[in-house]
Amino acid sequence: MHIQRVAGRPISSISLIADISAEANASTLKYRADVPVADTWDLSPIFPDDAAWETEFVVLSSRYEEVSGFRGSLGKSAADLARVMEFEKTLDYSIERLSQYAGLRLSEDSSNAQSLDRDGRLSSLGAKISEACSWVAPEIQEIPDDTFIRFLEDPILSDWQISLQRLRRLKPHILSNKEERLLSLAMPAVSGHHETFSQLTNVDMTFGSVRDDRGRDIELTQNSFSSLLQRPDHEVRKCAFTSFYTEFDAHRFTLASSLASSVKGDVFLAKARNYPSALEASLFPDNVPVTVYDKLIGAVRKRLPDLHRYYALRKRVFNLPELHVYDTYAPLVGAVQSDVSFNEAIVKVLDSLHPLGDEYTDILSRGLKQERWCDRYENKGKRSGAFSYGTYGGPPYILMNYKADVFSDIYTLAHEAGHSMHTWYARESQNFQNYHYPIFLAEVASTFNEILLTEHLLATTTDRAMKAYLINRQIDDLRGTLFRQTMFAEFEKLIHAAEESGAALTLESFRHIYRGLLDTYFGEGVVIDDVLELECLRIPHFYSAFYVYKYATGISAATTLAAQVLTTGETSHYFGFLKSGGSKFPIETLAEAGVDMRTPAPVNAALDLFSRRVNELESLVQV
């Protein structure tokens, strides 16, 4: 069964430059029922009301077991194989629509009992459907090679060529039924570290409070930590950093054991499925060569002097005798005063996307204005942050918590609009089974939009402070997404290689490996407090390894694509990328759009942009 992904931003890295406005007063927030309809999304294109959702839920609940009637027939003929694929597609399509509606309703107000019940029932049904369909893929794998090739030549399977060939690629890594059953039974134990990490860091750990520069006591949490590190007061940053890592230090052995278990689980599953390494097991589904991973790390390492030059600029601007890592997140340029309404933000975003042509901007304009794709403002119980949630059967909705006095929210709108338009074009151009673009490509369109917004804002302002702010913002985006995520990717590679070579994974070995990376990536000009070595134990993505590199490749691809559009005016390659969905492997999709991730060229283009922006910022701040 397909699991719909909700597009969003990296969750493992600190948000690097965000305007810090006064904390929302919960008592002033509206209840959901009091929010004007015009400020909410219109979910009627999915289901006109909750009753219609219930009707489809009942229908799906009553018919999914029919899939068992196809069992034993998939190798008989191409027509039999096509029938089960089409039936499973109807289940996927239905559960995707049900999931989108249930998920969006729950995000409106996470305390709503009806929404919680709806989401819980759907989750239970999804598990039953997955179990009922679990025999389909193994039975397809059992079809003899010559028979399978003959089936694919039949026109009745023309729409299923891509899906079936991708499934067949997995055949060398599919085990016998008994072995697969044992692996399935073992998974809760193999992956138990996820729950341990989550419970420890989100429930058991408490960080106390920090007195901010206004004399207020702020509760220190996983979320407020990043905000406090961006405060202009050095002592506030230092206190937040010290208090935060003091709590991690108290649990360091438990966390190290959990991370070691995660790595051991990855290596075990890779070996069990006959992959050469855990890294190759992770890259295989997207058909990404290991060289892409290695060349990313190599290219970024060569350009670390540019990053170190930026840290030196920070030290001069802040006039600090020592620059600690907790000093590298505070905005180098003061946050700009902002009073931009949501409708004005739409105009700014649409103007920045003018290079993509009228069709793109007209579709997005209708979606944000007339068709109410976006749920605009915060209300009691609403999910925090922002995301885009698109499906084949409904509009590509956007959740925002927009604030007129937070300038970076304009960027958030552009970012999520990029996700939504990627989904829109993929849906319009591909059939259902091929429209889902992979995570490797997910952040390209969103980051592309942010780059165009920066270029537009820089071109339309003469204010020196605003230019410095915009440039600094892009520098810190590149630092957080390209340099930092690559450092994370290198750490994941090293610790998995250590386990595969038979080395012991201990608290000290983790700290030693991570300290080496911290020293290298931050350079001699930044003080590395010993306790920062524990950062490697708190990054959620490290417990689901080999994911973060996709953020770095995504911003690199987006930089190249944006440069192509802005310098040549040619958009056909970019629209080819948007329309491809999941019809090809991601490296092939990008190559056809003019971005060859098998070479370091796209990564170098992003690194060149970083270097150029640092030069520009140096001239603007003149320290």
| Ordered DSSP codes for 355-389 | GG-HHHHHHHHHHHTTS--EE-S--TTPPPS-EEE
Task: Report the pLDDT value the prediction gives residue 333, as an integer from 0 to 100.
Answer: 86
68 contacts 136 by C-beta, under 8 angstroms = no
CA nearest 19: which of 462, 243, 336? 336
476, 17 in Cβ contact below 8 A?
Answer: yes
Q: Which pLDDT score is estimated for 416?
A: 97
Q: How many CB atoms lie within 10 A of CB 322?
A: 9
416 catalytically annotated: yes
Structure token digits, residue 530: 């010993």
Three-state SS for 281-335 is: HHHHHHCCCHHHHHHHHHHHHHCHHHHHHHHHHHHHHHCCCCCEHHHCCCCCCCC
Sole residue written with tokens 């150029």: 612
Catalytic residue among 88, 108, 378, 416: 416
Q: Provide the pLDDT for residue 11.
A: 33
Q: Looking at the whole model, is its pTM more than 0.85?
A: yes
Nearest residue to 449 (alpha-carbon basis) of 540, 288, 578 = 578
The DSSP code for 210 is E
Domains of the chain and any CATH numbers: 31-174 (1.20.140.70), 206-250 (1.10.287.830)
Q: What is the pLDDT of residue 21?
A: 38
Q: Report how far apart the first and last C-alpha atoms of the chain are (Å, whole number).
A: 57
The pLDDT assigned to 418 comes to 98
Residues 6 or more apart whose CB falls under 8 angstroms from that of 411 comprise 450, 453, 473
3-state secondary structure 482-498: HHHHHHHHHHHHHHHHH
Give the pLDDT score at 17. Answer: 31
Grouping H, G, I as helix, E, B as strand and the rest as coil, residue 468 is: helix
Pick the closest to residue 416 from 381, 382, 376 (CA basis).
376
Cα→Cα distances 268→186, 281, 496, 530, Å: 11, 11, 11, 32
Residues of the chain with pLDDT under 50: 1-5, 8-26
Q: Longest Cα pair distance anywhere in the chain, in angstroms?
A: 76
* pLDDT tens digits, one per residue of 501-537: 999 999 999 999 999 999 999 999 999 999 999 999 9
